[in-house]
Each structure stands twice: as C-alpha cells, then as structure tokens.
Amino acid sequence: MSHHHRPDRRLRLVAVLLVSVAASFASSTLTLSLMLALALISSVILLSVRPNNSFRLIRRMLVVNMFVVLIWLTVALDWRSMTFTPSGITLATQLSLRINLITLASLLLLTGMTALDLARAASGLGLPRALGSLLTMSIRQIALLGETQQKIQLAIRARAYRPRIHWHTIRVSAQQVAWLIIHALLRAQRTELGLKARGLDTFPVLLRPAQPWRLLPRSEWYFLAGTALAVITAIAAAEILKRS
C-alpha cells in the first residue's frame, strides 16, 4: 500500500480559511479569475497524482454549479425584459468565480481528511477543550447512531416501505426521528454513567495532542507558504494587469 504524505491537518485548515478570506475580500473579477485558474491548475496536478478523488470532486463541483445557474437566473436575468443586465452579469460573474474558487480550494486542501482529522486540526488551532470533547464525542456517536438508523431503515424497508409524498411517509419519517432521539437519550444516560465511573469530572481529552508547532518539519510550512504565495501572486498579477 502506498502512503501519500499529506501536510499537517492544522495547516490545511488554515490554508482553506486563508483562501476563503481572500476570495471573500476580492471584488475584482480579474483577481478571482486568476485565483480560480491557479486552483484549477492545482486540481489537475493533484488529480493526476490521485485519480481516485476525481469523481467526488467533479460531482461536487457540478452540484455547486447548479446553484450558480440559479444565481444567474435570479441575479443577472431581468425577467420582465428577458435580458441580462450589465450590473447583474458583473455580480453573477463575481459570485460564480468566488463560489467555485472556495469550493474547489476546500475540496483540494481537505482531500482525504476524516472527521477525526478535523477534530484534531480544530483542537490544535485552539478550539476550547469542551468544544473539542463535544466534537470528538459527536463523531463517535454519529457512527454508533448511524448504525441504529440503518437498522431502523432496514426494518422499515422490510415492510415494503417506499418513500413517497404521502401521510405514511411523514409518519414513518417521524418514527425514525423519534427513535433516533430516544436511542440517543438512553445512550446518553449510559455514557454519563461511564464517564462518572471513570471519575471524570472534567471534559475528557479524547484526542492525542497535536505535534508541537516548533517540531513541524519545514516542508509542512512550505505548503502553507505556497498557498499564501499563490493568493498574493493572483492579487498582485491582477493589479498589474489592471494598470497596464
């Protein structure tokens, strides 16, 4: 089995936020286009190395662009005259570029990240301990309750249930939700007893601590620096092109 090295998860989360902030600040179509172009080039390079991720990425981008189509129909199109207005086109273009940029960057930078990785990244970036415990416990409970939900759905389907828009579907959905809540509450009581039995009177630390920042290899920081450089390059290039 080959193991692809991925940068430190904390730095990946910071990189996503960096791109999101830069994209949200940028109002120039040129700047957003250049940033998106860099993101597309990066995605082509990444997918050539890891083609397994391509289906998920393309599918997600298609779904997001359905919303982009809605934006064009509601923001750019004047339904009275059935023409696209210049101001609407400008705004819709900016939004289309921004939405695609942030979505693509998030998918690229967080590829292969699991829920526990997210918990470790957030905790390593200073998430309060109580929230960190809540996040980690929630991940575990999603797995356990998810199994319960699957059993409920199996039992429902065994009764030849097919979801359609009628009262029986509403009642069955309500039963699913009620059962989930009841299972959750009964499980919560057992978990609370378990924590008390372990003598835990403070929020449990359920994750191993992240590697100290000073021990991170330099190559990890090059990744974050590279992302920041790409953003700055796009902004600077846009400014130069605008003035020339």
Partner 1 sequence: MHLAEGVLGFPTLITAAACTAVGVTIGMRRLTTRTLPIAALFAAVFFLIGTIHIPVGLGSVHLVLNGLIGLLLGWLAFPVILIALSLQALLFSFGGFFVLGANTLLLAAPAVLVHYTVRPLLKTQPTSSNRQLLAGSMAATIGIGGATLIAALMLWSTGQDAFNGLIGVLAAAQLPVWLIDTAVSALVVTMLARALPEALSL
Among positions 151-180, residues that touch partner 1 (CB under 8 A) are 163-165, 169-171, 173-178, 180
Residue 219 binds to partner 1 (criterion: CB under 8 A): no
54 to 51, 112, 140, 174: CA distances (angstroms): 5, 12, 28, 37
Under the binding rule (CB under 8 A), the answer on residue 226 touching partner 1 is no
In one-letter notation, the amino acid at residue 161 is Y
145 binds partner 1 (CB under 8 A): yes
Minimum CB separation from partner 1 for residue 188, in Å?
4
d(CA 173, CA 150): 13
Q: Does 9 bind partner 1 (CB under 8 A)?
A: no
Q: What is the 3-state secondary structure (H, E, C) of the chain?
A: CCCCCCCCHHHHHHHHHHHHHHHHHCCCHHHHHHHHHHHHHHHHHHHHHCHHHHHHHHHHHHHHHHHHHHHHHHHHEECCCCEECHHHHHHHHHHHHHHHHHHHHHHHHCCCCCHHHHHHHHHHCCCCHHHHHHHHHHHHHHHHHHHHHHHHHHHHHHCCCCCCCCHHHHHHHHHHHHHHHHHHHHHHHHHHHHHHHCCCCCCCCCCCCCCCHHHCCHHHHHHHHHHHHHHHHHHHHHHHHHHC
Q: Which of residues 28-67 bind partner 1 (CB under 8 A)?
A: 60, 64, 67
Could you tell me the smallest distance in angstroms from the CB atom of residue 72 to partner 1? 10
What minimum distance in Å lies between the beta carbon of 26 and partner 1? 10
Stretch that binds partner 1, among 46-54, 192-200, 211-219, 230-238 (CB under 8 A): 192-200
CB nearer to partner 1: pick between 61 and 210: 61
Q: Which amino acid is at 142?
A: I
To the nearest whole angstrom, how small is the minimum distance from the Cβ of residue 186 to partner 1?
8
Nearer to partner 1, 21 or 44 (CB): 21
- Say if CB 207 and CB 198 are below 8 A apart: no
Among 187, 216, 221, 223, binds partner 1 (CB under 8 A): 187
Q: How far is the CB of 22 from partner 1 (least distance, A)?
A: 10
Nearer to partner 1 among residue 83 and residue 219 (C-beta): 83
Q: Which 121-140 positions form the footprint of partner 1 (CB under 8 A)?
A: 122, 128, 130-131, 133-135, 137-140
Residues 77-106 contacting partner 1, CB under 8 A: 79, 87-88, 91, 95, 98-103, 106
Please select the residue that binds partner 1; options are 58, 69, 155, 200, rule is CB under 8 A. 200
Residues contacting partner 1: total by CB under 8 A: 77
